[in-house]
Amino acid sequence: MSDRVNHELLKLLPPDAKVIVEIGCGTGSTGAHYKQINPHCQYIGIECDREKAKIAADRLSWVVIADLQETDIENLDIAPGTVDCLVCGNLLPYLKNPWEVLKQYSALLHPDGQVLAIVPNVQYWRRIVNLLRGHWENADSKMQYWFTLESIKSLFAQAGLQVYEFQGKGQQTDNFVHFQQLLHPMIKALELTSSNFATETGAEYYVVRAAKSPIPPRRLLIQTIIMAPTGCDRVRVLEPDKFSATIPGVRTISGVKSAELIPPLPGEEKVFIWQRTIMQYPAYIPRLKELLQQDYLIVAEIDDNPIRRREYADNNYLSYRGCHCVQTTTEPLAKVLRQYNHNVAVFPNQLAYLPAPRIYSSEDTVTIFFGALNREKDWQPIMTALNRVLVAHQHRVRVKVIHDRRFFEALEIEQKEFEPFCSYERYQEIMYSCDIALLPLVSNPINEMKSDLKFIECAAREVAVLASPTVYEHSIKEGETGLIYRYVKEFEIKLNELIADAQMRRQLAANAYEWVRDNRLLCGHYRQRRDWYLQMRDELPRLNAELRDRLPELFSD
């Protein structure tokens, strides 16, 4: 029995959907993975195979067993106009009447709802070649219809849907280029357009995105150059980009330390983001000029205090003064950045995925986690107290350390494990195996502008935290979602309690997990970036005037 996740459609599902209906949900694998992104969604499956539906029922909100060929949707117990996304998978070509089925199911859609589907392309160049050689690949006798690009548009139009994007999928090799060259005389004789013919024959199948609203989406191209990929590209760029790309009309692309400007599609408004870039003056002036001349909104992305790097000041803070606007992680950091550019938006760090609730082992050993970069001054004040606690509980406690060799060597117990700097997946795996996490930050101007990401990562994996008040007291509810220590003796007392009291430790972790689920998942916040970019695009005349006042040389010939 197939239990595949449809990753091509999964990555396009709107992360903040309240209701999704998947026609032909199979065993519910796609929906189960989506629920890690958005656990609040009602994900409803419709399936004709009872054995598959039984498995899916344990994974999805609920499953309706129904004949997928039928167009009667009254028995589905789904109110018309309430569905945010209708997922058809690759079902449409297998239906006896896909036009009527799509039309009937589309009635369930919210006015701003959308449909996702995968449709094979009968015009694919390899199929044409095989047909000319006398071979037809339709080994699957259950398929009822083949579609062209134009007939797909007609199929959706008859259902009252507007196709706003086709993603053509299929490998285009040198043979494809040769095919186009061989058929060029025929294309010319038939008065076809070469570019259109290449588009129509290049895709093996299409991923189709359609909307119920007749109003076309506002199109936005978001391009980012990542200058600090280690540790912050995922949460600050890659995952927000992935979520933004699910919004109709939004296209995202990023590159590490280099980024050629991407040609826009018709009607696209353009945003260029410099992530943690230290711009040298005057070397970067021509690059900024080029972006201005090509009508980009220029954004600086920064998640760390600029006073840590003298190069920012040495270049007169061009990294912020030379952009239209700035995005960052915390309000204290935004306050500093507004000294150089008062157009600053705060997008706190969020988690893109929520692991399944934790199942604890019967092992009695309590595992403590410490994993951080450049924290020696933060952990030194508590190390003596930490060792007293570890020695007192040495027969039932161990420590797992990532990256910080000096911290590891300072621990006065044998039950300890060290992992060098590792991938984020390995980092999560180690964290997930621990019971308590130590989050020390001493109070200083650098630390006070950091984000609470470490806490929400621990909370999502149900690891109880003992943290400093710096940064974390604004997120942790003392005694409910974690523990805060304000002096060394309190650190020692509370760590002893966490080790000794498994019930308290696990309750704190469970409460923190629920808090992250309800407040700090990216699915509830990702649209804020797109909305802000569009607002800034609308205010571009004002932003250009302010930029001219700050750096008139950007506008000189």
Q: What is the pLDDT of residue 503?
A: 95
What is the pLDDT averaged over residues 170-182? 81
Q: What is the pLDDT of residue 177?
A: 85
Which H or E run includes 525?
none
Distance CA 387, CA 27 (A): 50
pTM: 0.93
pLDDT higher than 90, residue 176 = no
What is the pLDDT averaged over residues 522-535? 98
Q: What is the pLDDT of residue 556?
A: 87
456-511 residue pLDDT tens: 999 999 999 999 999 999 999 999 999 999 999 999 999 999 999 999 999 999 99
Distance CA 4, CA 52 (A): 12
Question: What angle is formed at CA 543 by the lines to CA 545 and CA 449, rounded to 5 degrees?
Answer: 130
Greatest Cα pair distance, the chain, in angstroms, is 88
3-state SS, residue 191: coil
pLDDT higher than 80, residue 552 = yes
> C-alpha distances in angstroms, 14 versus 25, 243, 326?
17, 8, 26
Q: In 3D, which of 289, 280, 282, 283 has the Cα closest to residue 272? A: 289
> Per mean pLDDT, which range of 166-180, 300-314, 395-409 is the poorest?
166-180
Specify the residue for token string 């040389």. 553
69 compared with 276, residue with greater pLDDT:
276
Q: What is the pLDDT of residue 61?
A: 95
pLDDT higher than 90, residue 185 = no
3-43 residue pLDDT tens: 789 999 999 999 999 999 999 999 999 999 999 999 999 99
Q: What is the pLDDT of residue 140?
A: 61
As a whole-number percent, the residues of the chain with pLDDT over 90 amount to 79
pLDDT higher than 80, residue 75 = no
pLDDT higher than 90, residue 139 = no
pLDDT, mean over the chain: 93
Q: What is the pLDDT of residue 530?
A: 98
Question: What angle is formed at CA 63 by the lines to CA 57 and CA 66, rounded to 5 degrees?
Answer: 130
pLDDT higher than 80, residue 138 = no
Distance CA 405, CA 395 (A): 23
259 compared with 499, residue with greater pLDDT:
499
Q: In terms of DSSP bridges, do strands 42-47 and 109-120 run parallel, antiparallel, or are they unpaired?
A: unpaired
